[in-house]
Amino acid sequence: FVHVNTSAILKLSGVPLPDWGFRQLEVVGEKLFRGYHESTVWNVEEHRYGRSQEQKERELELHSPTQVDISRNLSFMARFSELQWRMLTVRSDDSEHKYSSTPLDWVMLDTNIAYWLHPRTSAQIHLLGNVVIWASASLATLVYALLFIWYLLRRRRRVCDLPEDRWLRWVLAGALCAGGWAVNYLPFFLMEKTLFLYHYLPALTFQILLLPVVLEHISDHLCRSQLQRSLFTALVVAWFTSACHVSNMLRPLTYGDRSLSPSELKALRWKDSWDILIRKY
């Protein structure tokens, strides 16, 4: 489609809209036409059952094996170099994917990726993290930041809540864990290439490392009495139990080791943004 007055070309930018746009792909007008590209080609079709049709296409895609050229006998270093080169030279124009996401979707696990669907049953494998661990790691980062600012402001007023050696350990742990999270997460806001949930895993690792640091600090320095420590210990045990329970509930979607009924799959769709494949038999 070409605009008559401005000669702008209607195309897809490949960037999904926020939640208010129901995560549909953004449509833009490009004034400078650079030649043929698949993002500028539009097909006018009629969709009476658009949602089920999309799910059917996803099922067919997940059933199809990946095309791999096995005739190329490459060494490890050759494969590693090729992988790095492909990641560095990926083009943002070819960035349309149904499972792409934004960095804001990663923090609270508002997205997932479907990798495999059994040809006959509903067994499927998704990249879907443990919600309890995911949320706890984000909460630990927030708690650390608030406590660090609080201690820093009080130290400027010569009120030292922590001994000097404990303060240095607290700062070092934050520089390593919180700093590692920031370095591996914040740069994605500046990238224009296609982003997926697995890009957040390195940053999440640093958040999980920060979690026991925050728990130990709360137990040793913020719980003043033995009763408070006992209550906090019970709370940690309950948290650990809930994390194990959630991991066991999401196991069929993580490992695809058993088939679930449509009602069971709907029960595991805890967020509307999770794309869990449900077959209609």
DSSP 80-96: HHHHHHHHHT--GGG--
Q: Write out pLDDT tens, residues 204-255.
A: 999 999 999 999 999 988 888 899 999 999 999 999 999 999 999 999 998 8
CA distance 109 to 100: 13
Whether residue 176 is contained in a domain is answered as yes
Within a domain: 42: no
Domains held by the chain: number? 1
Tell me whether residue 109 is in a domain.
no
Can you list the residues of the chain whose pLDDT is less than 70?
1-2, 4, 31-40, 43-74, 83-84, 86-97, 280-281
CA 257 to chain CA centroid, nearest Å: 23
The reply to whether the predicted model has a pTM over 0.85 is no
For residue 185, the SS3 value is: helix
Q: Which helix (H) or strand (E) holds 62?
A: helix 50-63
Residue 217 sits in which domain range?
131-249
The answer to whether residue 162 sits within a structural domain is yes
Q: What pLDDT does 52 receive?
A: 46
